[in-house]
């Protein structure tokens, strides 16, 4: 790889996201699912 290519790759890999979804949003995901549970039987019936 030439100098430009190496710099490009370094630049690219320097912009990495967090390895995990932030905890608050993980909780939010499950919370929104839990809130739907009471309706499931009615939804299934319709």
The one among 2, 3, 4, 43 contacting other proteins by CB under 8 A: 43
Q: Looking at residue 15, what DSSP letter applies?
A: S
* C-beta of 2 vs 25, nearer to other proteins: 25
DSSP annotation of 35: T
Q: Using CA atoms, how far apart are residues 1 and 3, in angstroms rounded to an integer? A: 7
Cβ 3 to other proteins shortest distance, Å: 16
Catalog residues that contact other proteins under the rule CB under 8 A: 9, 11-13, 15-21, 25-26, 28-29, 32-33, 36-37, 39-40, 42-46
């Amino acid at each position: 790889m030439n100098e430009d290519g190496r710099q490009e790759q370094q630049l690219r890999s320097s912009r990495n996201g967090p390895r995990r979804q932030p905890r608050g949003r993980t909780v939010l995901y499950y919370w929104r699912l839990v809130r739907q549970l009471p309706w499931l039987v009615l939804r299934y019936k319709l």
